[in-house]
Structure 1
Amino acid sequence: MINKNSPIPFYHQLEELIRHKIDTNELKEGDVIPSERALSEDYDVSRMTIRQALTNLVNEGLLTREKGKGTFVAKRKLEQPLMKLTSFSEDMKNRGLIPESRIIEFTEGVLSVSECKELQVPQKSVGYRINRLRLADNAPMAYEILVLPKVIFPQLSQESIHSSFYSYAEELGYQIDGATQTLEPSLAYEQESELLQIKKGSPVLLMKRVSRLADGRPFEYVKSIYRGDRYKFITELKR
């Protein structure tokens, strides 16, 4: 219950109470949160206090609001470690989820100046651009734009990358060494929001990565847009 004699603000105490119920699975994904009026009566605090606590938890991603329906416990975010280079398919399988790729567009043509620079190939080199929607258990998780140099993958076809592209590359005998990756917050544009089933302007995580083979050659340049409400990236730092 809320301690009225504590210096900790009432709304913050309520946040911690709800957060604890979620952490202990007393409140599960999809469970409805009682109304502001009911919570106000249960905890003997003002509805303004209740509204502030719930809004903070919504902003944190622990709760979600559906207009005309109420407030619910949000789906847990998937934790993505940044210390190891793995494919989307590998990540989802490790979590017991079924990965799926839906190719939105597959084109072959001359790469842009910036794409050639990222892949360290001569200007006007030919390559592939593959736009893919990545899903887990049939739920959209990320929208991916994959750029590949034809000099490394001369026989690439749409059918060959329906699952894990890294598996395909390794089956060709290539050894994947590492990658350079950047991560930044962004907002979903119209096409991204439609594919990811989120509102236009929703927060997303924009990841850009250049991956290298064992001989040092870059073999992919990928831009991925992850749903901000379903993903969080973690890393371990040591001093």
Structure 2
Amino acid sequence: MKKVFAIGAAAAAALLVLTACNSSNTNETTSTSTTMSVESSTSANASAHNQADVTFAEQMIPHHSQAVEMSDMLLAKDGIDPRVTTLAEQIKAAQGPEIEQLQTWLTTWGQSSTPSSGMDMPTTSHSMEGMTPSTSLGMPMPSTSMGMMPGMEGMMSAEDMTALQNAQGTDAAKLFLTQMIDHHRGAVAMAQTEVDSGQYPEAIAMAQTIISTQTQEITTMEGILSSL
């Protein structure tokens, strides 16, 4: 009887060891599988973009940057209609964070997040000269002109920016509104291209926001302009 009990106890102990090993192996396999799944998902998310997304980000960064500069020019002036200054502040508040997000996406996609001096440039008066760092956004900003890639619509020329810089009072407000209406229309067109051709969900969502917000701002600016 003692031998029977001893054999039974040994068998039970062996079974417990085997069960523990199997459980450990299963947990390790599950953990490894989960880690691989997360890594695969992260990689997929980073690569789930196409050239339209890259172009959208590369073009919208300088486009937004110029809108921020135009707003800064206006806000530095005296005697501007409060409705126009409020609009300029609104544009800065919306487009500054969008610039930073666009730069982050380009970095995630393995692209340069700053304008390249070697980019193909159309035959215009636009220039990349005069780029200075912005202390408020921590990004390259133009002083009086902005480099432009083909397909960027609504950008102001160096002469346009100089005219806005020199204008004062009601004339400055009118010029700002006239220029920004064209600028916004260009941004809406670029955003619509992203909605139609892009792949990255977050970039498409931003493009839809730009279309909605800037279309509404165009209507507001046209109303203000007609009353000045």
For the criterion TM > 0.5, the same-fold answer is: no
> TM-score with structure 2 length normalisation?
0.26
> TM-score with structure 1 length normalisation?
0.25
Q: With a CA cutoff of 8 Å and minimum separation of 6, indicate the structure with the bigger relative contact order.
A: 2
Could you say which structure has the higher helix fraction?
2
Give 1 or 2 for the bigger CA radius of gyration: 2
